[in-house]
Structure 1
């Protein structure tokens, strides 16, 4: 029985590896040869980064609309909309740039046709030949999956709210695995994240935001494990916007005591020390939220790069040592890929938890009211306790996400 299970598992791994090999083999047939640079730039980095297309290979590629805010030759602003990158190159005054090239814009129609036929335009940046692009407002792959994650979270909670409105889970016990699972997760965010870190009853004000952040990040992370999909949280723009929302919440709801200590420094410190401490505290406040964005982005992007690198290793070995060595690498590469995918499922939950609890800590430190008498020299014991907990949670987060 064990032998059959192992044989079946080996067959699945080989099938997965064969499907993974399908796209590069086609690319090799279309071109005269596949270089190591092509594999790294297009197969690994090209699919890990954002792009203006949805990759459904071997079934096909769907190009997304391109929207450009440009300053034309006469200096006037104009908004140009194209259905795809192919349409942009055919109908607009645009050319292609290769990876890492600052000059040498490809504008020759014949070369552009060759690039489009070989799908190279999907992995290159475009530039305007007349005037310049002020802002690229094009629809991207990560934006599509961020919107999809938003729709999923919205739909799930609308359905749950309708159940609670009808009394299921409110006047009677929750019904079904799905409702019970969601209730457990909501109670976890409320009791383990919001209540311990935001003082008093103020947690009620911020619980909706914390729930939204937790479930959006969780769904976005899980989408990164779905075939043909991607994790929107592997884009620094997405995580940056979420960190800005936490930062805005902190600034909007901060107590007077928090602003006083932030802008004037410790009340018991000498003047010259306070002059030094004020900019340090302000920089520290900003950098906390920058780290909040970078931590989530780096972990999700790192996982994608590891997976693509393991699969790309098959083709790198093929280029360097031949087909026999590449076939021998398939089982090892695919086996490690499956392991990393399982690990990423755990990391998806961990990163949602880490972002949410750090957001709750930052908000809790900001809304904390300092009371004189019993708080030491100008600082409340609760503020000190929150600061210590912040340090411990950040150390735990760094240790947990190092995988």
Structure 2
């Protein structure tokens, strides 16, 4: 379990080197800040919002100057990068070398990446704590103690018995339980963080969901049996000419599964965040059209009650989407790891002859 969590944490370093250098602009320096900015709320930022203000995040660039020389520079914030006079903000909002050249790898820490790390670190800490309790016999020789251990055990048994065991062959499912549990709890925490008004929804970023889907993709492919790959490239028992059509379709299917995982999670979490911001924006629209009375009326009779209801729905969707991602991963692993009884051409012919 601990090794799986370590592996998941290390693979998330991919996010550090795939962070785009175009981030949502910090409105503090703008002449006029919009009352409510839907897209600015859901986009990635170079700072963290907290109840006490903003915490600006480091910018790390591996870049090439106009002469072709490469450099590695790190700064405490975007503003400090600009003050160095080596970088400047372009009109598009991207940070670029001021003397020409281009950024080769942007390893900057962003708000979405920070909340990915927060979620994974929390899962690891809780896992280490509960694992220590089990080593001392709490939960093995006696009943579980404490809320964390009870919740942990409920979730772990649910993933083991109703996700892994139900979808992966009986003699193989145990090896995948730690990975599936790590995926479920990490995604659930990322989704639930998005319910906080000052936090970011990391899974509303396609880079994050694509990375999670890519990890599952490699787990699925490495789980494939010889029989699985035979049915991808050779299709035993079918006419030779049909393989020309079936093999490309099967190969394409290997990639469409993780693609569907990434898009489904991304779209659901992004739409929920945007819906809440848009409904709250009605308060300001009505206040602008009809004055304070219109704003207060919209807030009291529609916007606030509807937002509260959506928050409860979004909390349910946050857990549901984590479950959907996890169970589909388990289904795809089970399909790849399944051992078929007839994996050779002539199986049906031989058994028909024996029957006769």
TM-score normalized by the length of structure 2: 0.83
User: What is the aligned partner in structure 2 of residue 72 from structure 1?
Assistant: 65
User: What is the aligned partner in structure 2 of residue 180 from structure 1?
Assistant: 150
Matched, 1:289 2:282: no
User: What is the aligned partner in structure 1 of residue 282 from structure 2?
Assistant: 313
User: What is the aligned partner in structure 1 of residue 213 from structure 2?
Assistant: 243
User: What is the aligned partner in structure 2 of residue 393 from structure 1?
Assistant: none
Matched, 1:350 2:350: no
DSSP-derived class of the 1:127 partner: strand
Take 2:277 and 2:173, find their aligned partners in 1: how far apart are those partners?
A: 41
Take 1:39 and 1:45, find their aligned partners in 2: how far apart are those partners?
A: 12
- Counterparts in 2 of 1:46-195, with a 5 A limit? 46-56=40-50, 59-98=52-91, 101=92, 124-129=93-98, 130-195=100-165
Q: Residues 177 and 88 (structure 1 numbering): CA distance in 2 closer, same or farther, change over 3 Å?
A: closer
- TM-superposed CA distance for 1:85, in Å, is 1.1
Q: Deviations over 1:200-237 (max 9, x none)?
A: 22001111101110111111111112342222222211
Task: Show structure 2 runs of 5+ residues with no match.
Answer: 1-26, 349-356
Matched, 1:280 2:249: yes
User: What is the aligned partner in structure 1 of residue 294 from structure 2?
Assistant: 325
Structure 1 window deviating more from structure 2 (334-343 vs 147-156): it is: 334-343
Take 2:142 and 2:135, find their aligned partners in 1: how far apart are those partners?
A: 11
- TM-superposed CA distance for 1:322, in Å, is 4.1
- TM-superposed CA distance for 1:45, in Å, is 0.6
- TM-superposed CA distance for 1:342, in Å, is 0.9
- Counterparts in 2 of 1:379-390, with a 5 A limit? none
Q: Residues 321 and 273 (structure 1 numbering): CA distance in 2 closer, same or farther, change over 3 Å?
A: farther
Q: Residues 146 and 279 (structure 1 numbering): CA distance in 2 closer, same or farther, change over 3 Å?
A: same
Q: Residues 212 and 60 (structure 1 numbering): CA distance in 2 closer, same or farther, change over 3 Å?
A: same
Q: Deviations over 1:37-65 (max 9, x none)?
A: x456xx211111111111236x4222111
Q: Residues 377 and 319 (structure 1 numbering): CA distance in 2 closer, same or farther, change over 3 Å?
A: farther
Task: Show structure 1 runs of 5+ residues with no match.
Answer: 1-26, 102-123, 379-403
How many residues align? The count is 318
